[in-house]
C-alpha cells in the first residue's frame, strides 16, 4: 500500500476559502479519493471544517514518497 495526500478545497457560507486534507493508506489514487470523500462526509469532518462546502471537482490526490 501507498500513502496519499488528498486535498479538497472548501468554501464557507461567507465565501472564505480553505482546504481539508486527508492522509490515506490505499492501493491506488482512486481508492484514496473515495476514502477521503467518505471521511469528508462524516459528522466530525463537517464539524472540523465548520460545515464548509467541498469543491469536489478541484480535489487533488498526490502520492507521498516514503523513501
* Average pLDDT of the residues in 31-36: 98
Helix (H) or strand (E) holding 48: helix 43-48
Q: Which domains does the chain have, with CATH numbers?
A: 2-64 (3.10.20)
pLDDT tens readout for residues 36-63: 999 999 999 999 999 999 999 999 999 9
Q: Which of 59, 62, 49 is nearest to 18 (CA)?
A: 49
Tell me whether residue 7 is exposed, middle or buried, using C-beta atoms within 10 angstroms of its C-beta: 0 to 12, 13 to 18, 19 or more: middle
pLDDT of res. 19 = 97
Report percent pLDDT > 70 for the chain. 99
Assess whether pLDDT exceeds 70 at residue 67.
no
- The mean of the pLDDT values for the chain is 95
| DSSP designation for 57 | G
Assess whether pLDDT exceeds 80 at residue 8.
yes
Amino acid at each position: 500500500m501507498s500513502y496519499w495526500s488528498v486535498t479538497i478545497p472548501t468554501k464557507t457560507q461567507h465565501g472564505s476559502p480553505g482546504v481539508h486534507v486527508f492522509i490515506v493508506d490505499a492501493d491506488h489514487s482512486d481508492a484514496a479519493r473515495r476514502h477521503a470523500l467518505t471521511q469528508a462526509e462524516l459528522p466530525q469532518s463537517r464539524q472540523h471544517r465548520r460545515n464548509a462546502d467541498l469543491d469536489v471537482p478541484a480535489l487533488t490526490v498526490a502520492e507521498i514518497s516514503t523513501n
